[in-house]
Amino acid sequence: MNLEGHVRLPGLINAHDHLEFNLFPRLGSGHYRNATEWALDVHHPERSPVREHLRVPKPVRLWWGGLKNLLSGVTTVCHHNAYAPAVFGLDFPVRVVRRVTWAHSLAFKPGPKAHRRAGWPFVIHCAEGIDSAARRELDALDAKGALDSCTAVVHGVGLARAGIELMRRRGAALIWCPTSNLGMFGRTISRAVLQSGLPIALGTDSALSAPVDLLDEFAVARRFVPAGRAYAMITSIPRRILRLPERHDDWIAIRVSTGAVALVVVAGRVRLISPDLARQLPKSQRRSFQLLHVEGREPVLVDADIAHLKRAAAKHLGSDLYLAGKKILS
């Protein structure tokens, strides 16, 4: 394939997402002291708009979460909920990390040690807040024997110097979701955390708290760290934290003139392609692609049944659909 005018890069890694919640609008209002306050405020499944969104079949919602990631050049995502083998098969648009264990948080999933598996990464929301309750969570996690070199703490907004030192001693890592933090608490991790030397990967969280994709999140991270470091947070660092193999058959091409994602290849298979590059594909292969255009992104062709996915969502949500805060235009 002639990629003149494009630059080829490794596939991006989203270290934290809740895939089934990316058709949802952002929930909550104002700022909170900790994530538990936010969760208690927004968790009303019997009320609109949550009620309607939960009526969309979960496999459909998972697929839209995968497409959100695909559109931003992600080839691998760490899904912070139960792995769905019936959905995350060869046809799913991106790789979903399977060799990972997780617990939601100490507040909602006590006993995290029981969820762990020897040698596998263990991911948990922790220190997600700005009050003393959030600051105490890391010590509580350590007291349960669940903080070590396999542990990836998600958020860490409440980390102070003592917490940073504890994570260093245990060899733990951090997954940073700045948009979610800023929206929920009005702040994100401190400069001390960013300068601590801890391994830090970037994640989007879901549209419930952060209606963004990984390119949006990369732009936010650039307000706090240099471009090269932000890039490592979506490539080499999450690969180490999540203990992923280096995959040369996962790669993307970016259009130099606009910075748009023009090609995404997952396991050697083209999953997203710009209309101009698609002209180089055999007609028999082009037939499997459908147009997807979301607000703020260039129209692309994706290897997915977009028409079916739109109908399945619109049945419950109406014709105006939003994916991670961006209106689906076609």
Within a domain: 310? no
Within a domain: 79? yes
Q: Indicate the number of domains in the chain.
A: 1
Q: According to the model, what pLDDT value does residue 108 have?
A: 79
Evaluate if residue 267 carries a pLDDT over 80: yes
Within a domain: 251? no
With beta carbons less than 8 A apart as the criterion, state whether 142 and 170 touch: yes
Evaluate if residue 114 carries a pLDDT over 60: no
Nearest to 273 by CA among 302, 307, 305: 302
Evaluate if residue 110 carries a pLDDT over 60: no
Written as six digits, the tokens of 102 are 């997780």
Evaluate if residue 145 carries a pLDDT over 70: yes
CA-based torsion, 279, 282, 287, 293: positive or negative: negative
With beta carbons less than 8 A apart as the criterion, state whether 209 and 17 touch: no
* Domain membership of residue 30 as a residue range: 13-245
Within a domain: 205? yes
> Which CATH number is 41's domain given?
3.20.20.140
Backbone angles phi, psi at 292, to 5 degrees: -140, 125
Within a domain: 57? yes
In this structure, the number of other CB atoms found within 10 A of the CB of residue 227 comes to 10
With beta carbons less than 8 A apart as the criterion, state whether 297 and 326 touch: yes
3-state secondary structure of 129: strand
pLDDT digits (tens, 9 = 90+) for 31-79: 999 999 999 999 999 999 999 999 999 999 999 999 999 999 999 999 9
Q: How confident is the model at residue 116 (pLDDT cuts 50, 70, 90)?
A: confident
CA-based torsion, 184, 187, 190, 191: positive or negative: positive
